[in-house]
Amino acid sequence: MPDDDDPICPLCGRPIPPGVPQSLHHLIPKLRGGKGGPVVLLHHICHKEIHATLSETELARDFNTVAALRDHPRLAKFLAWVAKRPPDFASKVPGARRRRGNRL
């Protein structure tokens, strides 16, 4: 059950209660110079969608802020969908779905 003290996922806006799969996202990927840089706590499902959508290079170059991630058309569609789900919702989506050469 979500508590008022639970952290909020900056992407989908839902609380992240204890025990819910969560992960830290490096706004600039570690392999692209982001080691030790800013990180944000996300639902694991939100984090997986970022990496299924964007390459490390795209993340470093164009999508290195929460605002930029939220504005990406595919992520915006996903976030609108997942925001309607309970905070502990987890999907068993198969591996990466990124299509090479399709940035937006």
Please check whether residue 16 lies inside any domain of the structure: no
In a domain, 37, yes or no: yes
Tell me the average pLDDT across 64-79.
Answer: 96
Confidence at residue 5, expressed as pLDDT on a 0 to 100 scale? 87
Would 94 be classed as within a structural domain? no
Q: What is the pLDDT of residue 97?
A: 54
Q: Which domain does 32 fall in, by range?
A: 22-82
Q: How many domains does the chain have?
A: 1
4 part of a folded domain: no
Residue 72, domain member (yes or no): yes
Determine, yes or no, domain membership for 50.
yes
pLDDT-derived band of residue 71, with 50, 70 and 90 as boundaries?
very high
- Residue 62 is assigned to a structural domain of this protein: yes
Q: Is residue 44 part of a domain?
A: yes
Closest CA to 94 of 56, 59, 49, 54: 49
30-55 pLDDT, tens digit per residue, is 888 878 889 999 999 999 999 999 99
Give per-residue burial for 14-50: e unless 16+ CB within 10 Å, then b: bbbbeebebeebbbbbeebebeeeeebebbebbbbbb
Nearest to 53 by CA among 93, 10, 84: 93
